[in-house]
């Protein structure tokens, strides 16, 4: 059934949806507020379940070919002592490898797999749902009526506000920094170092290149943050190897992105002619690295729900029914993980040493279960 569909946002969720729609012959328009494709954002880690969805989008081999394959995930304390070391290759063997790559490389692959032209530099000034249609006022003065508007415009989604009223996300009292830097220490896999209310993560993203991520609770920070490099060195300078030398080696002209973290409480974000996907619908802390996977899965499940549906409202309700449990589980697990940041050091160390394996399995095992969509509903499906 042919519908007049608008996707708002050409980030990870919007591009994945565009790709899934094209593969099923569903036509759409797509806009993005940014004047040109975004290139920042440093690196991405994609646990094994991402590969199931990437295969469903037809990107499995392409991403696996250029990404770094992480066989283990290691948690160290600030002094470099091992708290937990997990054979993630084994855990995810029926799904796929745990990959890491630059965000630019991932979005570049997504973009190259979409034929429909993204209209960059365009956003919506207002969306009104009238009966079962959405009337959209665009920033360039145009107006159009759509059968379906899909908000994929991220954490600070304006679409969420225009459709569902004032729905500001919860902002965590935490700050993060991200950068790409030479892998001068020859790190081979995802490695995090934990201090009190702060964490420093290194992930190889390609030969010779490391994705460095640091975060700290705001209570640790001075009132005015100015120099990202100095802030990182103040926070992590007293850490040991392997990651401290990387922080020390940051140069004055290196690009570092500073950001906030927060959460959009997952719920049924749909009405008679619109819905939200990706971070606009269920952003959360990156502590399980599930944001991209959930965006891919949203795209596949929504495409499945819409492909042959006669009744649009029923299709949108079916999408929410299929997604809510999974994204709520991730949000709950992220909150539980993040709550250990402020525990007294001996308790945190004991928990990770004694229960690290069990906690990892508990958080991620439900994600080995099939999600429905794009034919990617078997975890052992190959590209
Ligand atoms: C610090 C940090 C680290 C992370 N690390 C990981 C990780 O390692 N692995 C992982 O899987 N996930 C990670 N995530 C989460 C992941 O980045 C997000 O889940 C993912 O980017 C969501 O994709 P999205 O398309 O919904 O939103 P976005 O990627 O934010 O894309 C939104 C798009 O909408 C556009 N837009 C915004 N407003 C408008 C508007 N009004 N009109 C039109 N267009 C608009 C933007 O320009 C952008 O292109 C991390 C997040 C953070 C904050």
Helix (H, G, I), strand (E, B) or coil at 194: strand
- Reference 195, options 333, 344, 360; nearest CA is 344
State pLDDT tens for residues 133-160. 999 999 999 999 999 999 999 999 999 9
Per-residue pLDDT, averaged over 191-206, amounts to: 96
**pLDDT category of residue 166 using cuts at 50, 70 and 90:** confident
pLDDT level of residue 112 (50, 70, 90 thresholds): very high
Nearest CA to ligand 1 atom 2: 286
Is residue 197 left, alpha or beta, with left meaning phi > 0 and alpha meaning psi from -120 to 50?
A: left
Alpha carbon 291 to its chain's center: 2
Q: Ligand 1 centre and the CA of 324: distance in Å?
A: 19
* Weakest-pLDDT range from 71-75, 174-178, 205-209, 302-306: 205-209
Residue ranges of domains in the chain, CATH in brackets: 5-170+262-368 (3.50.50.60)
pLDDT tens-digit map of 284-300: 999 999 999 999 999 99
Ligand 1 atom closest to the Cα of residue 159 is: 41
DSSP-derived letter for residue 11 is S
Q: Which CA distances in Å does 120 have to 204, 253, 269, 280?
A: 31, 29, 25, 19
Residue nearest to atom 12 of ligand 1 (CA): 291
pLDDT reported for residue 294: 98
Q: Mean pLDDT, the chain, as a whole number? A: 94
Q: Give nearest CA residue, ligand 1 atom 38.
A: 153
Q: How far is the CA of 155 from the centre of ligand 1 (A)?
A: 7
Do residues 12 and 163 make contact, with C-beta atoms less than 8 angstroms apart? no
Residue 379 has pLDDT above 70, yes or no: no
- Contacts of residue 20, defined as CB under 8 A and 6 or more positions apart, other chains included, come to 56, 57, 299, 300, 302, 303, 374
Distance from the CA of 209 to the center of ligand 1, in angstroms?
A: 22
What residue's CA is closest to ligand 1, atom 23? 12
pLDDT band for 373, please (50, 70, 90 cuts). low
Q: d(Cα 372, Cα 350) in Å, to the nearest integer? A: 38
pLDDT band, residue 199 (cuts 50/70/90): very high
The pLDDT score that the predictor gives to residue 225 is 80
* Token pair listed for 95: 């799904």
d(CA 54, CA 51): 5
Q: What pLDDT score does 382 carry?
A: 35
C-alpha 168 to ligand 1 mean position (Å): 16
Give the pocket of ligand 1 (CB within 6 Å).
Answer: 8-14, 31-34, 38, 44-46, 123, 152-155, 158, 176, 178, 259, 261, 278-280, 286, 289-293, 295
pLDDT of residue 383 exceeding 80, the answer is no
Question: How do residues 210-227 score in pLDDT, each as one tens digit?
Answer: 999 999 999 999 888 889
């Amino acid at each position: 059934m042919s519908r007049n569909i608008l996707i708002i946002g050409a980030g990870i969720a919007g591009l994945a949806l565009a790709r899934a729609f094209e593969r099923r012959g569903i036509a759409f328009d797509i806009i993005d507020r940014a004047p040109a494709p975004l290139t920042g954002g440093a690196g991405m880690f994609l646990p094994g379940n991402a590969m199931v969805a990437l295969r469903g989008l037809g990107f499995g081999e392409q991403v696996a070919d250029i990404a770094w394959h992480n066989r283990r995930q290691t948690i160290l304390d600030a002094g470099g002592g091992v708290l937990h070391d997990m054979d993630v290759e084994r855990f995810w063997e029926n799904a796929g490898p745990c990959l890491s790559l630059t965000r630019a490389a991932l979005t570049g692959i997504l973009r190259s797999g979409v034929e429909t032209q993204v209209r960059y530099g365009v956003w919506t000034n207002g969306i009104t749902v009238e009966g079962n249609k959405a009337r959209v006022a665009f920033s360039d003065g145009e107006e159009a009526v759509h059968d379906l508007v899909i908000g994929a415009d991220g954490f600070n989604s304006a679409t969420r506000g225009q459709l569902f009223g004032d729905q500001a996300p919860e902002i965590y009292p935490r700050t993060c920094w991200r950068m790409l830097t030479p892998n001068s220490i020859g790190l081979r896999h995802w490695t995090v170092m934990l201090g009190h209310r702060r964490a420093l993560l290194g992930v190889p993203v390609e030969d010779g290149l490391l994705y460095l991520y640091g975060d700290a609770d705001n209570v640790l920070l001075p009132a005015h943050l100015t120099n990202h490099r100095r802030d990182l060195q103040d926070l992590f300078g007293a850490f040991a190897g392997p990651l401290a030398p990387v922080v020390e080696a940051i140069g004055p002209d290196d690009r570092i992105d500073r950001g906030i973290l927060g959460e959009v409480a997952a719920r049924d974000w749909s009405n008679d002619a619109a819905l939200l996907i990706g971070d606009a619908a269920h952003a959360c802390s990156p502590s399980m690295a599930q944001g991209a996977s959930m965006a891919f899965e949203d795209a596949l499940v929504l495409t499945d729900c819409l492909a042959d549906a006669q009744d649009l409202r029923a299709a949108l309700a079916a999408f929410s029914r299929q997604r809510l449990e999974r994204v709520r589980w991730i949000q709950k697990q992220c909150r539980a993980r993040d709550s250990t940041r402020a525990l007294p050091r001996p308790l945190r160390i004991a928990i990770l040493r004694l229960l690290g394996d069990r906690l990892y399995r508990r958080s991620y095992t439900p994600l080995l279960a099939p999600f429905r969509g794009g034919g990617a509903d078997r975890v052992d499906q190959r590209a």
